[in-house]
Amino acid sequence: MTDLTTIKGLGPTTIKDLQALGIKNAEDLVTYYPFRYEVIEKSNINNLQDGDKIIIDGFCENNPNVFHFSRKLNKMSFRLNTGERLLNITIFNRAFLKNRIAITTPLTVIGKYDKKHNAITASDLKFGLITKTVINPVYHSSFKLNSKKINKLVSLVLGKINIPDYIPDSLNEKYHFMDKAAAIRAVHYPIDMDKTDLARQKLKYEELFIFMLKMNYLKNNKQINIGLARHVDYAQIDQLIHNLDFQLTQDQLSSIRDIYHDLTSPKRMNRLLQGDVGSGKTIVSFISLYINYLGGYQGALMAPTEILAQQHFNNITKLFPTLNIALLTGKTKAKERRIITTDLASGNIDIIIGTHALISEGVTYKNLGLVITDEQHRFGVNQRGNLKNKGITPDILYMSATPIPRTYALTLYGDMDISSIKTMPQGRKRVKTILKSNKEIKDVLYLMLDEIKKGHQIYVIAPLVEDSEKIDLENVNQLEEKMQKAFGKICNIGTLHGKMKADEKDQIMEKFKNNDIQILISTTVIEVGVDVANATMMVIFDSFRFGLSALHQLRGRVGRNALDSYCILISDRETRRLKVLTETNDGFKVSEEDFLLRGSGDLFGQKQSGDMCFKIADLKQDYNLLLQAKEDSQAFLDSQDYVNKKYEHIRKIVEKSSNLD
Ligand code: ADP
Ligand code: MG
């Protein structure tokens, strides 16, 4: 990388301004691409209105007049003969050009047209006539550095640094790509848009190629023979599966097969288990932990919330009563925590369930063989691989209920294998989703009453915990009052919100599970994972405040058995967007829609923010290019050219990225 300070003509202030745009070195600067182009055709002055932007050419009619207001401020004026008219041109702070402009000098003037005075206040002046369309690159700029300035700074750097091409020759030939340096020039200094488009295509492909190369490299590399080849008889797993109180779905079974295969092979597992909310990922994770246990290793399951960790702990201890299973969360008392950490280090604990506490300081394992992360999109990248372990590289399984549009799956999880649970367990009914306005609240209360009368339970979601001064939201307390008024005499109502202490939350949750509470009012703390089969109705106030995917997750809390279930979305706004949910129960469709409406940010939490920052490629537009790059990059990794280190510079940046975890 070339330090900006070594570039002649770049002062410390400019360097600071560049840094503010995220440009840290000369290479960043040349790859700081325009995000669009302003194409200006020569204006037809007869069609212009007062104040319009104008670009016009002609010959100077007189020697320019210059007036100096101060040392820095000056004004130059002259007349321009366009062949059709004489225009008065004024331009500020270009006095230094005076000596180059005389009668008959050909000039192009860009500026604002003042119809009444037949004048132009010029923002730019170029020597020569317009031979073609003028194309101005537009950059993401700042107050300090506008597009024009950035473009100029790029030219300072170009030619002074080496710009390697990261596409191997064979591929450059295959796609007839132009030379890299030429492409960079065509993107920053466009002459005709066709050529610039070709240049952009090359640079996009290069970016995607490198990205997929890294992904494929990681994937190949993560799986080299550093895994644990456990010896486990599948008959033991079959036995367990037969003894469950339900029959696993085909997809659950094949996911278990995938995982069994990974865990018993010397390849290291790096797998994503993907399945819509309610599809039954948990049991698959428990069986994976069991395989790992039978293979002689400790296993860890990490959940994003305490409630969820507790739920997993309760269920898994029921399933495997003879194993040593512990729960470690942020609320585990110091004394208990000490015992648990000692037992983990000595190997007394077979399986540990917990929250972030599992990766906190001072937790070490004797022989951690498998790490499972539930609702993986809730965790940041940084947290993965933080588990301390003595000398073993554990196998990794991520679970996610956020279905990901295929482009993103490829980029987000390109370095992983994926198992998908596509079908719901048998007997599930579609959750009926109903859209209501606040005016129709009475209808909602009657619907709720029906469920209560049937002995079922209800979740009620409020978006905020405390009164917000500006926005009038239904908050938890108000809601509770409302619900008490309506149902207080016939059932028990509990409240759950983020500000509560963990054990208070657990108590309430426990009561809801035991049906001591029939209506649970909550903020989105229950959004992920919680499983109460007798709950058949989800009522969400101000539902427009949530992303579609979040709503789909919430809805997934009900409809967990053969009973008729309902999701009631209350909203006075954005009902068109919410309508998607009334039309489909398919998480994939919902997330596609969510993605189209809101972009990717909301969908995945943090992980994508770093990984998906492309400088010129656009995942939505360039999906086919991405597929091509994926295929080409794997072929390249397998090629003799790669093995023989023909492209050392490509190899270097690829292998540098291999320390992701
Ligand atoms: P998620 O994939 O959202 O984590 P869970 O694992 O919590 O879903 O499963 C939802 C519910 O479905 C649980 O009550 C679970 O016991 C139940 N379940 C899982 N698999 C099956 C199955 N094959 N048949 C019937 N019920 C199942
Ligand atoms: Mg789950």
Q: In the chain, which residues have pLDDT < 70?
A: 222-225, 376-391, 403-412, 464-474, 498, 524-529, 595-613, 657-661
Cα 37 → chain centroid = 27
Q: Ramachandran region of residue 463, left (φ > 0), alpha (ψ -120 to 50) or beta?
A: alpha
Atom of ligand 1 nearest to the CA of 427: 25
* Binding site membership of 457 for ligand 1 (Cβ less than 6 Å): no
Boundaries of every domain in the chain: 42-132, 164-225+588-661, 234-264+280-400, 432-584
Give me the pLDDT at residue 200, please. 96
* Binding site membership of 281 for ligand 1 (Cβ less than 6 Å): yes
**Strands 457-461, 519-522: pairing kind:** parallel
Contact call for residues 323 and 541 (beta carbons, < 8 A): no
DSSP label at residue 414: T
* Binding site membership of 249 for ligand 1 (Cβ less than 6 Å): yes
Give me the pLDDT at residue 187, please. 96
Residue 107, strand partner residues: 58, 127
Cα dist from 485 to 372, 458, 492, 493, whole Å = 44, 16, 12, 11
Q: Is the pTM of this model over 0.75?
A: no
> Domain 42-132 class?
mainly beta
Give me the pLDDT at residue 227, please. 74
Helices (H), 295-425: 306-319, 334-346, 406-412
* Binding site membership of 246 for ligand 1 (Cβ less than 6 Å): yes
Residue 58, strand partner residues: 107
Give me the pLDDT at residue 407, please. 62
Give me the pLDDT at residue 103, please. 93
Q: How far is the CA of 401 from the centre of ligand 2 (A)?
A: 7
The answer for residues whose C-beta is within 8 angstroms of residue 558's C-beta and 6 or more apart is 431, 459, 535, 536, 537, 538, 565, 566, 567
Q: Which amino acid is at 89?
A: I
* Binding site membership of 279 for ligand 1 (Cβ less than 6 Å): yes
Give me the pLDDT at residue 240, please. 96
Q: How far is the CA of 285 from the centre of ligand 2 (A)?
A: 10
CATH superfamily membership of 234-264+280-400: P-loop containing nucleotide triphosphate hydrolases (3.40.50.300)
CATH superfamily membership of 432-584: P-loop containing nucleotide triphosphate hydrolases (3.40.50.300)
Give me the pLDDT at residue 606, please. 35
DSSP-based three-state secondary structure for 99: helix
- 234-264+280-400 and 432-584 in the same fold: yes
Atom of ligand 1 nearest to the CA of 275: 2
* Binding site membership of 278 for ligand 1 (Cβ less than 6 Å): yes
Helices (H), 223-305: 234-243, 250-263, 281-294
Nearest CA to ligand 1 atom 9: 280
* Binding site membership of 559 for ligand 1 (Cβ less than 6 Å): no
